[in-house]
Every structure is written in structure tokens, then in C-alpha cells.
């Protein structure tokens, strides 16, 4: 478990709808979080990490969701399962 701000969050298995481009690269287009569908509006970052001991790979995406939150999602490349790692409230673009 990790501390995110004032809350502690463990990785949560989620259902993800993916978009597969013409090069075969998969990316999330939407996912279910607490029973609600969240559309991925923008992918801010993508990276692949490998555990040096187990050699397991995870594909991470930091995305802006349609619900005013930013999410860190990842796919276990070996099992093709998706997980939510983190959720934070996006800052408003409005500056009075």
C-alpha cells in the first residue's frame, strides 16, 4: 500500500477498454472505477517497467480522466490484467 496525499491506496484490479492502433500498441480508452465509466481524455505519460528479480513487465499510463481526476493505470504484460495505482484530483485551469 502507498500513501497518496491523506489516503492510503492499494493497487485495484480494474476493467479497461483499450484502443489498439495500427502498430499494435495498446492504450486505455476508458475504464470502470467504482462502477462508473471514466473516459481517458489524454495520456500524459507512458512507460514500461521491469522487475529485475522476476523479469515481470508492467506498462504504466498516467492519464487525465473525464471525471476531473488524473490516474496512474498499469497493465501486467504477462497476464494482460489492468490495475489502478493512483488517483488524484486535477487542478483547475481557472485562476481568478
Which tens digits make up the pLDDT trace of 39-88? 999 999 999 999 999 999 999 999 999 999 999 999 999 999 999 999 99
Q: Where are the domains of the chain?
A: 2-89
Query: Is the pLDDT assigned to residue 92 strictly greater than 70?
Result: no
CA distance 74 to 85: 7
Segment among 1-15, 33-47, 78-92 with least mean pLDDT: 1-15
pTM, whole model, 2 decimals?
0.81
SS3 annotation, 39-96: EEEEEEEEEEEECCCCCCEEEEEEEEECCCEEEEEEEECCCCEEEEEEEEECCCCCCC
Mean pLDDT of 20-29: 80
Better pLDDT: 80 or 6:
80
What is residue 25's predicted lDDT score, i.e. its pLDDT?
66
Give, as one character, the DSSP assignment of residue 6.
T
Q: Report residue 12's pLDDT band, with 50, 70 and 90 as the boundaries.
A: very high
Amino acid at each position: 500500500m502507498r500513501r497518496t496525499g491523506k489516503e492510503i491506496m492499494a493497487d485495484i484490479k480494474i476493467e479497461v477498454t483499450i484502443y489498439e492502433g495500427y502498430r499494435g500498441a495498446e492504450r486505455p480508452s476508458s475504464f470502470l472505477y467504482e462502477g462508473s465509466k471514466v473516459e481517458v481524455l489524454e495520456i500524459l505519460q507512458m512507460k514500461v517497467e521491469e522487475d529485475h528479480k522476476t523479469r515481470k513487465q508492467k506498462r504504466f499510463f498516467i492519464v487525465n480522466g473525464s471525471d476531473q481526476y488524473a490516474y496512474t493505470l498499469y497493465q501486467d504484460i504477462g497476464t494482460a490484467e489492468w490495475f489502478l495505482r493512483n488517483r488524484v484530483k486535477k487542478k483547475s485551469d481557472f485562476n481568478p
